[in-house]
Amino acid sequence: MLPCGVVLKNRILKSAMSDSLGDGAGNPSEAQIALYRRWADGGAAVSIIGEVQGDPHALEKPGNLVVAADSDTEVFARLTGAGTASGAGLWAQLGHAGALSYAPLGRPRGPSSLELDGLECAELLPGDIEQLPDLFAKAAKQAKALGFTGVQVHAAHGFLLSQFLSPLFNRRSDQWGGSLGNRARLLIETIDAVRAAVGGAFPVAVKLNATDRIDGGFSEQEAAAVITMLDDTSADLIEISGGTYFPGARSSGGGRPGEPYFLDFARKVRGLTRKPLAAVGGFKTYRQAAGAVEDGTLDMVGLARPLVVAPDLPEEWTTGAGTDPEFPRFENPREGAVTAWYTLRLAALGGAPLPGFPIEASSGVPDANAALEAYDARDRARHEVWRARFG
Ligand SMILES: Cc1cc2nc3c(=O)[nH]c(=O)nc-3n(C[C@H](O)[C@H](O)[C@H](O)COP(=O)(O)O)c2cc1C
């Protein structure tokens, strides 16, 4: 049972994935509806849709959903109906890409202006920052009205709230920067505003980095201190992840060799909070997942890529018939190519494969670099549709 009183049917969380299956104008597509039905039928307690935006100018990609007063309520109702079949929860991850907003269509603005190779953004003004908790709160209220059964505040991976936490992005000297208390202020105010908007009985989760995994970034010590701060908020679940899209940062991984990436960190912080704790990243076997729950480290196990290659895994693992998923191996993938390959696989799972990327495992090594090209081309093809709705 979550602190808000909602009872989840098991301990497996389909962690947020930006599926890029919006219709290009911020509303769900048929493939997306089919995908979330697939996962609901597959047995996860909750599926989280990644990168659902309240501000269309702070998009991560043009395949994101946008929750707004003029959203297509009928098609959203079909999505949330499909995603909550079989007693599953369907939560919206409330995103805001901030400095990493998709430049062709958005306005990259973060805590501080940056001009780096691969990252250029303007600085948010104090008046803009003050309005951000309310922006998240409105998105949360809208998500609830559209039929989502919970929300997750995205404070990980180098997007806006994670940018505020990280000294790499946040070089401010006002009340939003400097000390950890100041850097965490926006996150805490956002959780409070979201809670006020959705009421006491609705799940509000937070996804937080254990570490940025780069020198000078948000560290494990700081993450532990933020977890202590979160204990005093109304958050229902803290999901631990890690890594950032700051130029030069190492991609996913970490932790003890052969273990899920953030399990060791979760052990260290378990005693710091009474909140339900989840971790995502690197769970590959039933034993790892069951062990983390059985020994009391985690209340829920987050899975992303495992549920792309094996969407029925939760059903199998909770009925004891579980085999371990098999993952593809890639050769010399370019940056972003592996994620692109998984994203195209989601389109196929939703019954709308891109040409050349069917669901059947093709023999040999999957071509992640070709997936990246197809993925980028699909985004470019959405530009006009996005602009037509959002300007
Ligand atoms: C295709 C893809 C898209 C993702 N999109 C998001 C996202 O929108 N939001 C988020 O918090 N994490 C996102 N992630 C990260 C996952 O939630 C998870 O943290 C990461 O994949 C590690 O977990 P895993 O080893 O179970 O895959 C994405 C991962 C993949 C593979």
Side-chain half-sphere CA neighbours of 340 within 13 A: 23
Q: For the chain, give the mean pLDDT.
A: 96
Q: Is the CB of 55 under 6 A from ligand 1?
A: no
What average pLDDT does this structure show over 334-360?
92
Q: What is the pLDDT of residue 361?
A: 58
pLDDT of residue 248: 83
Does the pLDDT at position 242 exceed 80? yes
Per-residue pLDDT band at 123 (split at 50, 70, 90): very high
Return the residue whose CA atom lies nearest to atom 21 of ligand 1. 304
Residue nearest to atom 2 of ligand 1 (CA): 17
Q: Cα(196)–Cα(244) distance, rounded to whole angstroms?
A: 29
Residue 347 beta carbon below 6 angstroms from any ligand 1 atom: no
- Residue 157 CA to ligand 1 center (angstroms) comes to 9
Check residue 85 and give its pLDDT.
Answer: 96
Please state, as a whole number, how many other Cβ atoms lie within 10 Å of the Cβ of residue 4: 18
**In which band, very low, low, confident or very high, does the pLDDT at 362 lie, cut at 50, 70 and 90?**
low
pLDDT digits (tens, 9 = 90+) for 268-320: 999 999 999 999 999 999 999 999 999 999 999 999 999 999 999 999 999 98
Cβ within 8 Å of residue 126, ≥6 positions away: 174, 176
Among 15, 102, 263, name the best residue to mutate to test ligand 1's pocket (greatest count of ligand atoms within 8 A of Cβ): 15
Mean pLDDT of the 230-253 span: 91
Residue 370: band (very low, low, confident or very high) from pLDDT cuts 50, 70, 90? very high
Binned at pLDDT 50, 70 and 90, residue 366 comes out as: confident
Nearest atom, ligand 1, residue 302 CA: 26
Specify the pLDDT at position 358: 78
* 3-class DSSP string for the chain: CCCCCCCCCCCEEEEEECCCCECCCCCECHHHHHHHHHHHHHCCCEEEEEEEECCHHHCCCCCCEECCCCCCHHHHHHHHHHHCHHHCEEEEEEECCHHHCCCCCCCCEECCCEEECCEEEEECCHHHHHHHHHHHHHHHHHHHHCCCCEEEEEECECCHHHHHHCCCCCCCCCCCCCCHHHHCHHHHHHHHHHHHHHCCCCCEEEEEECCCCCCCCCCHHHHHHHHHHHCCCCCCEEEEECCECCCCCCCCCCCCCCCCCCHHHHHHHHHHCCCCEEEECCCCCHHHHHHHHHCCCCCEEEECHHHHHCCCHHHHHHCCCCCCCCCCCCCCCCCCHHHHHHHHHHHHHCCCCCCCCCCCCCCCCCCHHHHHHHHHHHHHHCHHHHHHHHC
pLDDT over 90, % of the chain? 92
pLDDT of amino acid 363 = 61
Which atom, in ligand 1's list, is nearest to the CA of 157?
11
Residue ranges covered by each domain of the chain: 12-329
What number is the average pLDDT over the span 171-199?
A: 98
- For ligand 1, is residue 100 a contact (CB within 6 Å)? no
- Structure confidence at residue 95 (pLDDT): 98
What architecture is domain 12-329?
Answer: Alpha-Beta Barrel (3.20)
